[in-house]
């Protein structure tokens, strides 16, 4: 079965500093990978996704992520964070059967705190 | 209007009561999902449905049931609610049969069982 590990439960970053959120996955085939963000009191919004091609993917709000097959990782990065980036971030891997997409398996999330 | 709408957004109930959370979507997607979010545990899949005749159990289906009334409607029921079912519940949809599986989420239904 597929799984996702987000090693950092909480991360604190100063406004304007760079950010990297870690994600490791376990899946038997080429994965479809996703990063979602959840702002306080809100639903989940897709930041970016990887399913083939270039291993560096660009997303919304200035985020990017790099797929590294050899490390089973899909880390999320942003060069300069803003106070509005404070949120919960979830990495997810897609599960597929003969019937197609069976839903996403999510990591436990990383809570991002921005210091002024 | 939101593409994926959940009702109610907030509900407080008592142990033993029957609760239904409803989800409707205007995205035209065939696939619908119910997830549960608990602090520190991320999102866990309860049930999912590929069409009105197809229902599948997810990781944590015990204590829950679902009904797919139409392509656009998917409801989650707790027949006899218990306090450890207190959580934030999300409905989600996804599109093409062999698409990437990207999920589109509703805004969530917060359920408190006393």
pLDDT tens-digit series, residues B60-92: 999 999 999 999 999 999 999 999 999 999 999
Nearest CB to B102 within list A43, A49, A96: A49
DSSP-derived letter for residue A32 is: P
The gap from C-alpha A114 to its chain's centroid, in whole angstroms, comes to: 18
B41 and B105 Cβ atoms separated by less than 8 Å: no
Adjacency order of strands within the sheet including B19-25: B4-7, B19-25, B73-78, B65-70
What's the pLDDT tens digit per position in B13-68? 999 999 999 999 999 998 999 999 998 899 999 999 988 999 999 999 999 999 99
* Residue of chain B whose alpha carbon sits nearest to that of A1: B59
The C-alpha atoms of residue B20 and residue B26 are separated, in whole angstroms, by 20
At A9 the pLDDT is 95
Tokens of B111: 């359920």
β-strand partners of B20: B77
| Cα three-residue angle A105-A109-A110, rounded to 5 degrees | 150
Pick among A27, A52, A100, A107 to test the B interface (most B CBs inside 10 A): A100
Spatial distance between the Cα atoms of A71 and B114, rounded to a whole number of angstroms: 45
pLDDT over 60 (residue B98): no
Please give the average per-residue pLDDT across B85-113, as a whole number. Answer: 88
The answer to whether the Cα torsion of B61, B63, B69, B75 is positive or negative is: negative
pLDDT confidence of A100, banded at 50, 70, 90? low
């Amino acid at each position: 079965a597929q799984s996702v590990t987000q090693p950092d439960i909480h991360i604190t970053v100063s406004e304007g500093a760079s950010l990297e959120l870690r994600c490791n996955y376990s899946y038997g085939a080429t994965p479809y990978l996703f990063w979602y963000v959840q702002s306080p009191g809100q639903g989940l919004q897709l930041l970016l996704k990887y399913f083939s091609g270039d291993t560096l993917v660009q997303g919304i709000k200035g985020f990017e992520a790099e797929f590294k097959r050899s490390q089973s990782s899909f880390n999320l990065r942003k060069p300069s964070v803003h106070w509005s980036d404070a949120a919960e971030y979830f990495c997810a891997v897609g599960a597929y059967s003969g019937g197609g997409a069976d839903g996403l398996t999510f990591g436990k999330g990383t809570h991002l705190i921005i210091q002024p | 209007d939101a593409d994926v709408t959940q009702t109610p957004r907030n509900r407080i109930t008592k142990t033993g009561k029957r609760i239904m959370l409803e989800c409707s979507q205007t995205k035209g997607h065939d696939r619908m999902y119910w997830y549960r979010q608990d602090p520190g545990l991320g999102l866990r899949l309860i049930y999912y449905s590929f069409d009105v005749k197809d229902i599948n159990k997810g990781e944590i289906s015990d204590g829950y049931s679902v009904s797919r009334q139409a392509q656009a409607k998917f409801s989650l029921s707790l027949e006899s609610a218990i306090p450890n079912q207190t959580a934030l519940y999300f409905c989600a949809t996804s599109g093409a049969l062999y698409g990437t599986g990207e999920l589109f989420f509703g805004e969530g239904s917060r359920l408190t069982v006393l």
